[in-house]
Chains A and B, each alone.
Chain A
Amino acid sequence: MTPEDDLKDEIQAHLDLLAEEHERRGLSSAEARLAARRDFGGVEQMKEAYRDQRGFRWIDSLARDVRYTIRLLRKAPVFTAVAVFSLALGIGANTAVFTLLDALLLRTLPVHDSHELVEVTAQKHGEFAMISFPMYRDLRDLQDVFGGFLATAGETPYRVTIPDSATELDNIPVSLVSGNYFEVLGVPPALGRFFTADDDRNPHSSEALGSVVVLSDVFWERQFGRDPRILERTISIGRSPCRVIGIAPRGFSGEVVGSSPAAWVPIVPFSSDDNLENRRGVFTAYMARLKPGVDRVRAQAAMTVLFQQLLRAEGRIRDHTEDFTIALADGATGLDVPLRRTFARPIRIVMAIVAVVLLIACANVANLLLARGAARQAEFGVRLAIGCSRRQLVAQVLTESVILSALGAFAGAAVAYGGSGALLGLISTGPAPVALDLQFGVRVFAFLAVVAIGSAVAFGLLPAFRMTRVDPGPVLKKSLRAGLGGPAQRASRSFVSLQIALSLLLLISAGLLLRSLQNLHRLDLGFRADSMLVFDLAHTPQQRDPASLSAVGSQVLRRIRQLPNVESASVSGLLLFSRSDIGAPLRIADYTPRADERVTVRYNAVSPGYLETIGMPLIDGRSIEDRDAFDAPMVAVINESMARRYFYGTRPIGRTMAIDVTRADSAPPAKAIEIIGIVRDARYNSFRQDTRPMFYVPIAQLPRSLRSLEVRTSQPASTIAAQVRQALAEVTKDIMIRRVLPLTEQVDQSLAAERLTMRLCTFFGCLALVLACVGLYGVMSYAVAQRTAEIGVRMALGANATAVVWLVFRETTHMILMGVAIGLPLALASTRLLSGFLYGLTATDPATIAIATACLVAAAALSAYIPARRATRVDPLVALRAE
């Protein structure tokens, strides 16, 4: 039976009973039925009303509440603006950070069945060990747990030449990948075909024989206007002519989050035998797709067994091969790369910070609602008196919260849109721009919705119940004037204390980070970073023999030194503060290594004038000079740490060492190297790392590609860079400038994570403080307004201004103390999360905590002082008459 039938039955039964009644009173049955109809009223009208009641009750009352709320909010524009502004900041900040977190950490690669992908690494006691390229080949050919196993050498900047249009493009990121790369990832070509095993043969053949290239959608669009006739055309990657065989699908930007190669080329034709056959080095990362039905744990065990067998067969590591394992990490979101390693933790911390800001904003809005509720007590009282249920009142107040938070979410989305772009700018510090696609995807929208609804509940529920707890009687009797009841006032005070506590937490964190950065900046780097420009070079020499390489270095240096405004210049094989590192296996005369010790010391190959240009003071002996040429006896300058570590305090000048050929990568000269000088220790790659033993050899004697050009000049980069580019082009076509930076900035970039966290923490800490002060000000103003009469009486009885101020301040002090009492333990418990970012102080540094607390108390006291002053201006007569 449908409800409609039921209703018909019910009406019929009613009409029958009525008619019977009328018949009993003596009407004929026809007349009785007519009378029954009359008494009942319009049947259809009633059915209509009944259906309305059944179907539209919720929608109807909701629509009414929404209309009413909008009217209310428009009548209180200041309240609405402040509430929406607070929420927009809170919700927007959260969404912005989440957008970045999503793009950096959560979004899966746009490939087929990304959950089957794993990142393959080798480990020894939890530390990363290496899988050399030959080892990869062996593993790939012998394993049976992967559906496919790929290698990638990552992005390298190349000069790309497009012959048809005579275009020459510098610094185009090209990714070197194994032939099965696209097949393993499960990406179909948008046009043409991808690599085959045949494309990935013949080491180092690309320059002589040419090779093939796959272009990214973005590059195809930018350079070729999506012309489909691109296939079979030839472009040059570096000096290798490559046939374009395919276009990657739109949205695919490789296996690394934050990078976006313009093109992909097969790894083998583009790599030297040195790299491909070297079992001691590594230049590639690896990913694999699990076979269906094979889980990660089983695959990991099987690969580990195979790896250890191969290590034993290889014979490079003689003992403890059982310590080496293969680790398979989730590869669905791509490879774990520096960008992610650097910013994963800061972003999580910032996420926590903005969550705290949102809490503070919610507390603020809750307080505003409570204060408004006080003003609306009379209205609520009347509504309850004329039959409105409490539930309806609560529903109406909650509607208000939901509408406020919806407005906040809309405005917040705009904040997030701008904010996430700004955040991306803050993390883009490397040589290539970070290519994160900050899309507002489903996850971000879901996050925004959850945050908005969550905050509506957080700030709306308690006020809704507190405000509507009204007894209509007294409210009406008090001639429609009333105040916030005791419990509601207590609630709003707890909110203020909570805000103070959370602000204190953020201020202390900001203080700790700020002072750490100051400490780091005060560190003596061991060189003079001011008035220095460093050029990050990509050098792909055509003639790789030592004599020609050595000659190129000298020519470049000679040419650069001739430039006007260049005080001094040098070239070297390792860029300062660039995360790269070179070590050399050494035999040092008179030093006997322990049984298990393999002496490997970091070094840099530098031109004459390097130490002087950088400003590393020489302590003993002489520096590297022009006479230390290619065919002169080999020399080296060592640093203090190396002198201490390997020469036991004796004078090392004149002593010798040699590169240990049995352990070396390639075949270096085994000639004796004479130590000619000692230089002061310097930080080379990071502020935090302790200075390590290191030596400097003339780049003329250990020739290699030029990686860095150092220029001391008082001119800005913009004026010098063009001259240097010109000068380099005159010497050789093989060198490309990747980036020019003042050395101070180059050094500063190693602190990008710290600075990001510090800046955002400080920004949000100040924001939190402002919100908390606004909250405190509001609550105290309200308290003063409510106690006008009391204050009037006290003043009439002779209380002076100080006493009145103190009266107000006593309450404030209570709230502040409560806030500090909650905030301090909270800070002590949570700042430990920051310990990785701190330097030269602990997470519970008393001075920082004291300063932050003092700032907070001062700001809070100031914001309570204004209402307190106002209290002293109460005119007793006016106050008493109002009662």
Chain B
Amino acid sequence: MSPALSEVPYGTLDLMILKTLNSLGAQHGYGIARRIEQVARGLLALNQGTIYPALLRLEQKGWIGSEWGTSENNRRAKFYAITRAGRKQLAAKEESWARTVAMVNLLLEDHQ
């Protein structure tokens, strides 16, 4: 039975975007969306459009920056890059994510 495609869990999209930008360097929105889909190996149902409000949110928080550039196909595109504050945030989020997962796992085990 093939698993149903998961929705993006609330609050994790930010983490995924930060992680992507941290490992790939500056990327435009399309590149980020593609990367997330690739890594999720088709397990994730991502409406690619939803990353744009997330990008704006991250930019407002100062965790990523953006500037206009030219894409592979010579089009005008906006490129996003992670900032120093963003890296710090990423580290913190990774840790808290790990904790949350561990906690939830613990709870699930308890109840088995």
Please give the residue numbers on chain A whose beta carbons come within 8 Å of chain B beta carbons, in ascending order.
Answer: 6-7, 9-11, 13-14, 16-18, 20, 39-43, 45-46, 49-50, 52-54, 57, 384-387, 389, 472-473, 476
Q: Which of A57, A384, A387 contacts B11 (CB 8 A)?
A: A387
Give the complex CA separation of A476 and B77 in angstroms. Answer: 44
- In the complex, residue of chain B having the shortest beta-carbon distance to the beta carbon of A477: B103
| Chain B 64-93 per-residue mask, 1 if CB under 8 angstroms from chain A, else 0 | 000000011101111000000000010001
Chain A residues with Cβ below 8 Å from B71 are: 13, 17
Is there an interface contact between A41 and B48, defined as CB atoms closer than 8 Å?
yes
Q: Given known contacts A13-B77, A41-B49, what 18 new A-B pairs fall within 8 Å (CB)?
A: A7-B52, A9-B78, A10-B29, A11-B52, A13-B28, A14-B48, A16-B73, A16-B75, A17-B72, A18-B48, A20-B73, A41-B47, A46-B52, A57-B60, A384-B96, A472-B99, A473-B99, A476-B103
Q: Which of A9, A20, A46 contacts B76 (CB 8 A)?
A: A9
Give the complex CA separation of A881 and B33 in angstroms. Answer: 54
Give the complex CA separation of A445 and B47 in angstroms. Answer: 52
The minimal Cβ–Cβ distance linking A33 to chain B, given in whole angstroms, is 14
Chain A residues with Cβ below 8 Å from B60 are: 53, 57
Q: Taking A385-B99, A385-B103, A387-B96 as contacts, is the C-beta distance between A53 and B53 under 8 angstroms? A: yes
Can you list 27 A-B contacts with CB-CB less than 8 angstroms, sorted by A residue number?
A6-B78, A7-B52, A11-B49, A11-B52, A13-B78, A14-B28, A14-B29, A14-B30, A16-B75, A17-B30, A17-B75, A18-B30, A18-B48, A40-B47, A41-B48, A46-B52, A50-B52, A50-B53, A50-B56, A53-B57, A385-B96, A385-B99, A385-B100, A387-B93, A389-B89, A472-B99, A473-B99
Give the complex CA separation of A836 and B89 in angstroms. Answer: 61
Give chain B's interface secondary structure class. helix
Is there an interface contact between A41 and B77, defined as CB atoms closer than 8 Å?
no
Give the complex CA separation of A42 and B52 in angstroms. Answer: 12
Give the complex CA separation of A41 and B76 in angstroms. Answer: 22
Chain A residues with Cβ below 8 Å from B50 are: 41, 46, 49
Chain A residues with Cβ below 8 Å from B89 are: 389
Q: Which of A13, A14, A46, A386 contacts B100 (CB 8 A)?
A: A386
Chain A residues with Cβ below 8 Å from B76 are: 9, 13
Give the complex CA separation of A6 and B79 in angstroms. Answer: 12
- In the complex, residue of chain B having the shortest beta-carbon distance to the beta carbon of A41: B47
Chain B residues with Cβ below 8 Å from A11 are: 49, 52
Please classify how large the interface on chain B is, using the bins under 10, 10 to 19, 20 to 34, 35 or more.
20 to 34
The minimal Cβ–Cβ distance linking B81 to chain A, given in whole angstroms, is 15
Which residues 18-65 in B have Cβ within 8 Å of A in the complex?
A: 28-30, 33, 47-50, 52-53, 56-57, 60-61
Chain B residues with Cβ below 8 Å from A46 are: 47, 49-50, 52-53
Q: Taking A20-B73, A41-B48, A57-B60 as contacts, is the C-beta distance between A10 and B78 under 8 angstroms? A: yes
Give the complex CA separation of A9 and B75 in angstroms. Answer: 10
Is there an interface contact between B57 and A17, defined as CB atoms closer than 8 Å?
no
- In the complex, residue of chain B having the shortest beta-carbon distance to the beta carbon of A476: B103
Chain A residues with Cβ below 8 Å from B56 are: 50, 53-54
- In the complex, residue of chain A having the shortest beta-carbon distance to the beta carbon of B99: A385
Give the complex CA separation of A386 and B77 in angstroms. Answer: 33
Q: Taking A17-B71, A386-B11, A387-B11 as contacts, is the C-beta distance between A40 and B53 under 8 angstroms? A: no
